[in-house]
Amino acid sequence: MALWSGRFEEGVDAFTQRFGASLPVDKQLYLQDILGSVAHAEMLAAQGVISTEDFEAIRAGLLSIRDDIEAGSFVFDINDEDIHMAIESELTRRIGDAGARLHTGRSRNDQVATDSRLYVKKRASELMAANVALREALLELALRHPNVIMPGYTHMQHAQPVLFSHHMLAYVWMFTRDFQRLLGARISADVNPLGSAALAGTTYPLDREATTAMLGFSFPSQNSLDAVSDRDFFLDLLYACSVSCLHLTRLCEEIILWSTSEFGFVTLSDSYSTGSSIMPQKKNPDFAELIRGKSGRVIGDLVALMVTLKSLPLAYNKDLQEDKEGAIDAADTLEDCYVCAAGMLSTMTIHPDAMLAAAGEGYLAATDIADYLAKKGMPFRRAHEVVGHLVLLCDKRGCRLDDLAFEDFREQSDLFEEDIVDCLDLASIVEARDTIGGTSSHQVAHQIEALRSQIAQDKTSI
Ligand code: ARG
C-alpha cells in the first residue's frame, strides 16, 4: 500500500506502479534523503512540533536504515514508489508511530529538491577533485618535456612551431574553466528548499534557518513555488559536465591522431590500449575513443533535461522525476573520463624526435621570414608575397626553406642578409614568440607558475 493510498479505492496497477516509480534511480540518493530527514526531525523537535523521544527514535531508526543500505542488507521493495517512500515506510515498520510523524510539515516536493541539491553539492565537489587530478597530470606532462618542439596547426595544416608543453597547457586552461563551471553548479545547488512543503509553505512553525545550517546550505530558499520546481542546479551541473566532456573529446581526438603511424608523436601505454581479435599487430587507442564517444550521452543528458523543463507550469509536476537519471549519469561519466584521461596521459610516451621532424616540414618558418623583411621596412603585405614566392620555389624544387641558398633569398629581396638563417631555426622561432601567452619557453614557464597557483587555490575550494 502506498503511503498516499487513503483516498484511493482500487489497488495499484502493476504496470503504472512500475512506470511511475523512480526508486531504481533515486535510491542512489538514500544518504541525502536520510540526512535531510534527520535534520527535519531534529528541527521539528526543537520547535516543539514532535517530542524529543520521537526525534531520538527517528534518528536511530534512520541511521540503522542507512547502515543496512550500506551493508547491502537492506531489501528495497519494488512496490515503494521512490526512495522517500521506501525509507519512510521502513522507518515506520521499525519504530511505529514516531516514524509516521516524520513527514509533518514536509512534502516529497521539498524533500526531493533538498536531496537533489545535497547530491549535486557532493558530486560537484568530487568532480572538482577529479578535475584537479587531470590538470595535474597534464601539467606534469608539460614539465617532463619542457623544450620539445612540435608543429602548431591551423586548419590541421602546419602553421608555426610551438612547444609541446604549450600545447598541453592549452588543455589545462580549458579544464581550469571547467572547474569554475563545476564550482558554479555547486553554488547554485547551495540553497535549502526544505520547509517549502508541497508548494506554498506550511502552517507549522518550522525553523528554516536551523535546517539550512544543519544541512550545510548557505541560504534558505525565498519562494516556495520556485523552490519545489527549480532544477537549474541540475542544468548547471549538466552544462559543466557537457563542456568538460567536450574539452576531453578535443584532447582525445589529438591523442588518437598523434598515435597513428602517420603522426607517431606518442605511444599509449599497454594499459590504455587494446588489441584486435583478428589483426595481431594492432594496438588501438580504445580508451581515448571511448572518452570521445561518451560525450554524446552526457550532452544528450543536458538536452534531455532542458526539454523536460521546457514549458513546465509551476509548481511541482511529475515530469521533474525525470531529472535525476541523466544528471547522475553525466556526473558518473565525467568522473570516469577524468580518471581515465589522467591515467592515459601519465603513462603515455612522447616522441620528441618525431615531433621535431614534423615541425621541419610545411614551411613553418614562413611567417618569421616575412616578419624579418617587415622589420627591415618592407610593408608586411609585400613581405608576405615575397615569402610566398620562396615557398613556391621550394614546392617546385621539393625542398625545405632551410635548403634554399642565400642567393635564392637575395633574388627575392636585397633586404635579406646572412642573419636570415636565424629565422629558419625552429628553436629561435619558438623563443621569439615572447609576448604574454606566447609559446617561448620563458612565457611557458610563466604559464606553469600561474596554473600551479591556480590549482593550489582551486584545491582550497573543494
Ligand atoms: N519521486 C519523486 C521525484 O523524484 C518525488 C516527489 C514526488 N512528489 C509528488 N508530489 N508526487 O520527483
Query: Is there an atom of ligand 1 within 6 Å of 112 CB?
Result: yes
Of all protein residues, whose CA lies closest to atom 2 belonging to ligand 1?
321
Query: What's the pLDDT at 6?
Result: 80
The predicted pLDDT at position 1 comes to: 65
CA of 454 to the centre of ligand 1 (A): 41
- What pLDDT score was predicted for residue 38? 98
Query: Which amino acid residue places its CA nearest to atom 12 of ligand 1?
Result: 321
Q: Whose CA is nearest to atom 4 of ligand 1?
A: 321
CA of 62 to the centre of ligand 1 (A): 20
Q: Which three cell numbers stand for residue 92?
A: 515506520
Query: Would you say the CB of residue 321 lies under 6 angstroms from ligand 1?
Result: yes
**Residue 221 Cβ contacting ligand 1 at under 6 Å:** no
Say how many Å lie between the CA of residue 242 and the centre of ligand 1.
26
Question: Which atom of ligand 1 is closest in space to residue 320's alpha carbon?
Answer: 12
Tell me whether the omega of the peptide bond preceding residue 315 falls within 30 degrees of 0, making it cis: yes
Three cell numbers at 404?
634554399
| 456 within 8 A of 448, measured Cβ to Cβ | no
Task: Please report which helix (H) or strand (E) contains residue 349, including its range.
Answer: strand 349-350
Q: What is the DSSP letter of 435?
A: S
Check if 304 has its Cβ closer than 6 Å to any atom of ligand 1.
no
The verdict on the CB of residue 316 being under 6 Å from ligand 1 is yes
Q: Please give the pLDDT value at position 72.
A: 98
Rounded CA-CA distance 186/425 in Å is: 49
Q: What Cα–Cα distance (Å) separates residue 392 from each residue in 98, 362, 398? A: 88, 12, 10
> What crossing angle do the helices spanning 108-144 and 83-95 adopt, rounded to 10°?
120
Pocket test for ligand 1, best of 16, 25, 26, 82 (most atoms within 8 A of CB): 82
CA distance 331 to 334: 5
Distance 313 CA to ligand 1 centre (A): 15
Ligand 1 close to Cβ of residue 106 (< 6 A): no
The DSSP code for 49 is S
pLDDT tens sequence for the chain (462 residues): 677 778 888 877 899 999 999 999 999 999 999 999 999 999 999 999 999 999 999 999 999 999 999 999 999 998 899 999 999 999 999 999 999 999 999 999 999 999 999 999 999 999 999 999 999 999 999 999 999 999 999 999 999 999 999 999 999 999 999 999 999 999 999 999 999 999 999 999 999 999 999 999 999 999 999 999 999 999 999 999 999 999 999 999 999 999 999 999 999 999 999 888 888 887 899 999 999 999 999 999 999 999 999 999 999 999 999 999 999 999 999 999 999 999 999 999 999 999 999 999 999 999 999 999 999 999 999 999 999 999 999 999 999 999 999 999 999 999 999 999 989 999 999 999 999 999 999 999 999 999 999 999 999 999
pLDDT attached to residue 260: 97
Positions marked active-site: 155, 276
Cell numbers placing 13: 496497477
CB 448 within 8 A of CB 142: yes
- Residue appearing with cell numbers 532542458: 306
**Cα(106) to centroid of ligand 1, in Å?**
12
DSSP for 194-239, written as a single string: TT-TTTT--SS---HHHHHHHTT-SEE-S-HHHHHH--HHHHHHHH
Cα 199 to ligand 1 centre (Å): 12
Q: Which residue has the cell 511529475?
A: 318
Helices (H) and strands (E) in the chain, counts: 20, 6
Q: Where are the alpha helices (DSSP H) in 259-365?
A: 286-309, 323-346, 352-359
